[in-house]
Amino acid sequence: MRAQAIYSVALLVLSLIGLGQANTIASCNSCYGINCQRTSLQAQEQKCADSLDYCVTIFDDSKVMYKGCSLEIPLTLRQRCESHSKGSSCFKCNSDRCNNVGAMDYACVQCDASKDANCAENASTLQPTRCVAPTGGNSYCYVKSSGSSTQRGCATTVAEQQSCLKDANCLLCSPGDIRGCNAVNISNNSNVGNRFIRFLR
Ligand SMILES: *[C@@H]1O[C@H](CO)[C@@H](O)[C@H](O)[C@H]1NC(C)=O
Ligand SMILES: *[C@@H]1O[C@H](CO)[C@@H](O)[C@H](O)[C@H]1NC(C)=O
Ligand SMILES: *[C@@H]1O[C@H](CO)[C@@H](O)[C@H](O)[C@H]1NC(C)=O
């Protein structure tokens, strides 16, 4: 009887482990508070104490507040991953270091005209895709175009945002209001690439 019980428990555990293969994580990307905005600290990782834990990223709007193992969320932020109404402010995933994802609303068209014929002038037909977790407090999409080259994507660091701002051929826009805000044509339209309307809303 006892052996039988132990055997069933062992089987159950084995099958849980088997089923949960994608769930057995060793580590998550890790940061807390202001450190989530420091590009020099983006390589930090946290080994989860429990191998059945999962990774999370917690946002305040698009700003990253915490990255790490779900069982180690700081108390002050814990409720963001529990309350259903705030579901979009807590991203959960269950593979190693999978939690480098931006907030739900932070999605940009991401393409390169040298690889995608629709990128230059037909970008509104491309699906905006979710950006990686930003280190900048603000999150922007960009479109950069000169000659026959056009690139669209996420400007996730302050350095990328500044560099776009200084570049007359680059335009930033805020994805919060318009999904895929960086789908606009700028290649042949000198007005749109113009400094004065660098920020589309
Ligand atoms: C972009 O330009 C192309 C070619 O002129 C045009 O067909 C398309 O409608 C334009 N798209 C937008 C969003 O303005
Ligand atoms: C724009 O993309 C759509 C969908 O992929 C395609 O049907 C259409 O022909 C494209 N238009 C141009 C001008 O390339
Ligand atoms: C925009 O410029 C490209 C490359 O110079 C050209 O192939 C395309 O026909 C132009 N589109 C429009 C709408 O003028």
- Average model confidence (pLDDT) for the chain? 81
Looking at residue 43, what is its pLDDT? 85
The predicted pLDDT at position 113 comes to 95
Point out the ligand 2 atom lying closest to the alpha carbon of residue 117. Answer: 14
Residue nearest to atom 4 of ligand 1 (CA): 121
Residues 39-50 have a mean pLDDT of 89
The arithmetic mean of pLDDT across residues 73-85, rounded, is 83
Q: Is 125 in the pocket of ligand 2 (CB under 6 A)?
A: yes
Q: Is the CB of residue 122 below 6 angstroms from any atom belonging to ligand 2?
A: yes
169: its two tokens: 């051929």
Positive or negative: CA dihedral 149, 153, 155, 157: negative
Top pLDDT among 191 and 65 is at 65
Average pLDDT (77-93) is 79
The closest ligand to the CA of 146 turns out to be 3
Best probe residue, ligand 3, of 119, 122, 186, 188 (max atoms within 8 Å of C-beta) = 188
Indicate whether residue 188 lines ligand 3 (CB < 6 A): yes
CB of residue 85 inside a 6 A radius of ligand 3:
no
Query: What does the alpha-carbon distance between residue 145 and residue 115 come to, in Å, rounded to a whole number?
Result: 14
Over 50: is that where the pLDDT of 186 sits? Answer: yes
Ligand 2 geometric centre to CA of 103 (Å): 29
- pLDDT tens figures, 136-170: 888 899 999 888 899 999 999 999 999 998 888 88
Confidence of residue 88 (pLDDT cuts 50, 70, 90): low
pLDDT higher than 80, residue 128: yes
**13 pLDDT exceeds 80?**
no
Residue 190: is its pLDDT beyond 80?
no
Q: Is the whole-model pTM more than 0.85?
A: no
Torsion angles phi and psi, residue 38, rounded to 5: -100, 110
pLDDT surpasses 50 at 11: no
Atom of ligand 2 nearest to the CA of 122: 1
**Rounded to whole angstroms, how far apart are CA atoms 195 and 201?**
14
Task: Give me the pLDDT at residue 115, please.
Answer: 96
Radius of gyration for the chain, computed over Cα atoms and rounded to the nearest angstrom? 21
How does residue 185 score in pLDDT terms, banded at 50, 70 and 90?
confident
Phi, psi of 198 (to 5 degrees): -60, -40
Ligand 1 site, CB within 6 A: 121, 124, 185
